Chains A and B, each alone.
Chain A
Amino acid sequence: MSSAPLPFLLEIGTEEIPDWMIERALAQLLESLEAIFLKEKLSFESIGVAATPRRLVVRAYELQARQADDMQTIKGPSVEIAYRGHQLTQVGLAFIRKHNISGDERTNLQEEKSGRAFLGALRRIPGRRTVDILAEALPKLVLGVHFPKTMYWTGKGGPRFIRPIRWIVALLGDEVIPFELAGVRSGAVTSGHRRLGAREIAVTTADYEQRLRENYVILSAEERRHKIHDGMAGVRVKRDDALVETLAYLTEHPTPIVGSFDAEFLELPEEVLVTVMRHHQKYFSVEDEHGKLAPQFVAVMNIPSDPEGFVRRGNERVLRARFNDARFFWETDQKKSLAARVADLAHVTFQAKLGTYLEKTERVKALVGALGGDAHAVRAAELAKCDLTTELVKEFTELQGVVGGLYARAQGEEDAVWQAIYDHYKPESMEDAIPRNRTGQIVALADKLDTLRGCFGVGLIPTGSRDPFALRRAAQGVVKILVEGKVDLDLAPLVNDPTDGAKALTEFLQDRIRYYFKDVRGFQYDEVNAAMAAGWSNLVDLEARLIRIRNLRSSPDFEPLAASFKRIRNILDQQKFTGTSAAAIDEKLLQDGPERDLYDEYRSIAGQPIESVISQLRPKVDLFFDKVLVNAPEDDVRRNRLMLLGTLLLEFSNIADFSEIVTTS
């Protein structure tokens, strides 16, 4: 029995889901639904997801309406036991009764391997209706979506989800897939825009999206993004894709409007104005034709129009109040210089076990000196944390550092100093730039290293996803600054104080180094392992060697040679051979032919870069392994051979441990 494939629609109607969680939830829904179809052997043409803040939607097209029938084989006793002549024995009959086997199903089965025959049955298992399968699977699918922070709302012990579920549309063709979830019965009724749409709207799989549109809900995030972009055409908006994304998932019917503010606020630093607009009000800022901030902003409403200007004026008033606050803080803070605030840092906790920011400042200053920072760097380190005592940073914490830099500039500090303060939290992510000058790089390094050493020292070590002090970001920042700033210094001695949890911290940093070169810079993992095995502490040097390895890898001789090096490493390890030294090779013991050739080759290439010798070295190594038995019966010959191989390995081991390279052959 077959029936035509059907469209499938699931809409989970909720209260407003945090914008940044929505796409991740959709990806999970898509994956889980696909897994169900696969497991249940249901064919489909395509699956798609969509969402607004109030609904998560999964749709499938041309979904098989019923599983195909399945043939089940039931194996019974062998024919010798089951039959006497053509008559079933007691054993045979018992089998037939136990499985309730009909005359049509009964058959003899031949086992292929042994050729033996058994009494058995072939039974047709009718496929289940997709509606029934989904009615069972969907509640689990929905509640199985993982969110960073969930809630319960129906009472203690009730189901958990990101926000309360208020309605569910579940349709396969015209039929409702019946189930209940958190006290809500699935149906064919959705809900429109909170204020402009109808509260209950009957839908079909065919008219669902159109009915939502009529009720002021634009289902497609892509369309909402476009609507935001189009609504800003003609305004010189500072590009901000992340904000577009946020607003696309904060609204069901986004419409940008342009507001303005008093130009006198432009006397405040641009950073402060932009932060207020961007982070506190979710406004786009606007530039004039010279790229300077213009006294305008774009807000995005969740309604189609503002004919009477209520929304524009409301937002303008809110912004005015915010800017007034900022100006008040800016002026108040200036009454006390950063230098005069150092002592106040004794009242700001860095971390309970690690004391105050005053203590941190002292440590960072000392560390700046140890890193070779000049007087400017020491001055910047002394003032770097002082903005934590300012009203402006208390109000706009995300401006820490930046505000300190701006105040330092206003208070006449040197460029190198104020820029270093301004930049010292950078890089805040892998995409963020490192501090713009060396002074800033040194201060940023010292600040981050101090945090890492301090936290590891008191056992605050990140585990899994728990990293409350953002130590991963700090370590990543250290790596990025050292490499991209080409800061030529050794990391290992800076993190080897045993009271600082040196072992754990060293491994933590090595992990971050691996991650940086592999995932950010695109080196192969074996290249990174090989290069780090030859030294990981100086990242400028490590990067240079990694580039050499990557270039070497294109040589046809590289992988075979790497394979030989791995073989050498294994032989040396097996023989527990150490103490390699070229001078210890006894030339008299060398056998003429491949062994002496290899030795001569070694003598001629020693001290040269591997790039220029690889093509002549490789055949000699190959031939050696081809013709020479390393494990010679004579003890002194064997030791001499091991010495030769060890010496060869050592010759190039300052670039990388090539035995770490994974070869295809």
Chain B
Amino acid sequence: MSSFQEIIFKLKQYWAERGCIIQEPYDVEVGAGTMCPETFLRVLGTEPYRVAYVQPSRRPADGRYGDNPNRLFKHSQLQVILKPSPDDVIEQYLASLEAIGIDLRKHDIKFEEDNWESPTLGAWGIGWQVMLDGLEITQFTYFQQCGGIDLDLVPAELTYGLERLTAFLQVRDSVYDIEWAKGFSYGDVRYREELQYSVYNFEMADIAMLWKLFELHEGEAARLLKLYDPKAADKQRFPLLPAYDQVLKCSNIFNTLDARGAISVTERVGVIQRVRKLAVGVAQAWVDQRQPAVAEVAQ
């Protein structure tokens, strides 16, 4: 039986052998691996890219004080981006499941329609949820648009839910009971974090402070985007990645405020729009930044 960390090792090894750069988790809070620059920005443009990384994903509203066997404030996704997607992408994906010890001749795999969309990121794709013996283990998406931009190369995005997958392999009813490493359960490693973040997000987060932070990060992202000049000869050095970090901060603060019940109905749509505007702005500038400046073309 593989432990949680061994499953991660094997999947990383598997995708490394198929040409993926193995990245480390992004060091800014995100709600999903898709939001990391390694996905959100790398899928844009014409350069092929392959990357895999584990991304701890924070969803404040999903916290359950460590009580619910299946729901977590922070879960781990293994995110794989294959850009462009190879013709045998599904075969490669299925073989990755066999690499972690699932004999697919003895299990039931189904691909059920599930198209993915993130209004906040101006992104959507076509795909499936992959069901293994009735359990959703992976979201499989062919990206079509990101930041409101049609993608040049269509990437395949595979998002494995690592806790679920491990619970399945280890035959555990609760994620807290899965073995993280020999002698250590998932609960040993993460229970206190789940409990304390649930308390903070639902009960104690300072709403006024969070709004202030939101506005500060939003202001900084907006300020930078305003300064970006597509005609500048030295636009390559413009800090779009730091600007994007500010957008991610906004997104996470929004989610925390939402879990805290601090966002009224009327505000909600408006705030999502504000974050979306910034994300789309960064994406567009990012695509432009890879082009030569207009002045250079003229020469």
Contact = CB atoms under 8 A, between A and B. Distances in A.
Contacts of A283: 134
A196 B106 CA distance: 10
Nearest to A324: B69
Interface stretch (A345-353, A597-605, A622-630): A345-353
A251 B112 CA distance: 10
Contacts of B69: 321, 324
A155 B134 contact: no
A153 B142 contact: yes
A250 B112 contact: yes
B111 interface: yes
Interface string A143-172: 000000101111110000001101000000
Given A18-B113, A299-B134, A314 B70 contact: no
A10 B265 CA distance: 53
Contact of A196 (B105, B111, B168): B105
A143 to B, nearest CB: 16
Interface in A269-295: 281, 283
A352 B265 CA distance: 9
Interface stretch (A37-45, A300-308, A404-412): A300-308
Contacts of A153: 85, 142, 154
Interface in A487-501: none
A53 interface: yes
Interface stretch (B20-28, B145-153, B183-191, B223-231): B145-153
Contact of B168 (A301, A303, A314): A314
A319 interface: yes
Interface string B260-298: 010011101100000000000000000000000000000
A320 interface: yes
Interface stretch (B4-12, B29-37, B125-133, B237-245): B125-133
B135 interface: yes
B265 A302 contact: no
B268 A195 contact: no
A321 B167 CA distance: 12
Given A155-B154, A325-B68, A163 B126 contact: yes
B198 to A, nearest CB: 15
Contacts of A325: 68, 70-71
A469 to B, nearest CB: 16
A568 to B, nearest CB: 58
A62 interface: no
Nearest to B87: A166
B265 A356 contact: yes
Interface string B90-121: 11001000000000111111111101000000
Interface string A338-359: 0000000011110010001000
Nearest to A314: B133
Interface residues of B, number: 44
A318 interface: yes
A626 B108 CA distance: 80
Contacts of B115: 149
B109 A151 contact: no
B68 A156 contact: no
Residue of B105, B113, B264 contacting most chain A CB atoms (<10 Å)? B113
Interface string B50-71: 0000000000000000001111
A156 B125 CA distance: 14
A15 interface: yes
A195 B153 contact: no
Contact of A318 (B71, B134, B154, B268): B134
B112 A318 contact: no
B206 interface: no
Contacts of B87: 164, 166
A281 B112 contact: no
Contacts of A299: 108, 134
A329 to B, nearest CB: 10
Given A151-B144, A314-B132, A302 B108 contact: yes
A310 B87 CA distance: 30
A301 B108 contact: yes
A152 B144 contact: yes
A250 B108 CA distance: 12
Contact of B133 (A151, A164, A318): A318
A153 B86 CA distance: 10
Contacts of B151: 156
A140 interface: no
B126 A149 contact: yes
A166 B90 CA distance: 11
Interface string A26-53: 0000000000000000000000000001
A281 B134 contact: yes
Contacts of A18: 113
B150 to A, nearest CB: 6
B84 interface: yes
A169 to B, nearest CB: 17
A321 B173 contact: yes
A317 interface: yes
Nearest to A297: B134
Nearest to A259: B134
Given A303-B106, A313-B133, 6 more contacts: A16-B111, A164-B87, A250-B110, A311-B106, A317-B135, A356-B265
11 contacts: A16-B128, A53-B111, A151-B154, A152-B154, A153-B154, A303-B107, A315-B134, A320-B173, A325-B70, A325-B71, A349-B266
Interface of A: 15-16, 18-19, 53, 149, 151-156, 163-164, 166, 194-196, 199, 250-251, 281, 283, 299, 301-303, 306, 308, 310-311, 313-315, 317-321, 324-325, 328, 346-349, 352, 356
